[in-house]
Amino acid sequence: MKIALGCDHGGLNLKNAIIKHLESKGIEVKDFGTYTSDSCDYPEYALRVAEEVAAKNFDFGILVCGTGIGISISANKVPGVRAALCSDTFSAHATREHNNANILALGERVVGQGLAIDIVDTFLSAEFEGGRHENRVNKISEIEKKYSK
């Protein structure tokens, strides 16, 4: 499994903890920045990870900002991306099972590190259920097509 990660300054510490955790499990990761605590703009890092995930260069993306909101909104502008902001493990497996989410977004200022790691593990181990959910995910793609140039 290959995971692309990105964050802004508000998500740096949590992103680094997630990278350490994934590497300890032998999971391949690539860090698309930011790499310092200097103030920066989350859409830039959302775009880097979202484009890689949409191109299927990675199995999943993980994005972290202060709330997880700005970085998930930004990622969801890239066609093919379904970024889900999760603050609990139920949402983390449900969004894989029902929405086939391909990016997990987290808020470093919202969830503690222990819970965040559990959310990551839950998200990565859950599987899309297909069936009726497939029809609904296809309808998301139809909305994207309707509004893409």
Binding residue (CB under 6 A) for ligand RB5 from 34, 52, 53, 66: 66
Q: Do the Cβ atoms of 40 and 11 come closer than 8 Å?
A: no
Binding residue (CB under 6 A) for ligand RB5 from 19, 58, 70, 104: 70
Q: Do the Cβ atoms of 11 and 65 come closer than 8 Å?
A: yes
Quote the least distance from Cβ 74 to ligand RB5, whole Å: 9
Decide: residue 114, CB within 10 A, 0-12 exposed, 13-18 middle, 19+ buried: exposed
Selected range binding ligand RB5 among 47-55, 65-73, 114-122, 124-132, rule: CB under 6 A: 65-73
Quote the least distance from Cβ 96 to ligand RB5, whole Å: 23
Quote the least distance from Cβ 40 to ligand RB5, whole Å: 9
For the segment 26-45, give every residue that binds ligand RB5 (CB under 6 A): 42
Q: Do the Cβ atoms of 28 and 1 come closer than 8 Å?
A: yes
Decide: residue 4, CB within 10 A, 0-12 exposed, 13-18 middle, 19+ buried: buried
| Binding status of residue 10 toward ligand RB5 by CB under 6 A | yes
What does the alpha-carbon distance between residue 57 and residue 98 come to, in Å, rounded to a whole number? 22
Binding residue (CB under 6 A) for ligand RB5 from 4, 19, 62, 65: 65
What does the alpha-carbon distance between residue 66 and residue 69 come to, in Å, rounded to a whole number? 8
Residue stretches of the annotated binding site: 8-9, 66-70, 99, 109, 132, 136
- Can you say which residues are annotated as belonging to the binding site for D-ribulose 5-phosphate? 8-9, 66-70, 99, 109, 132, 136
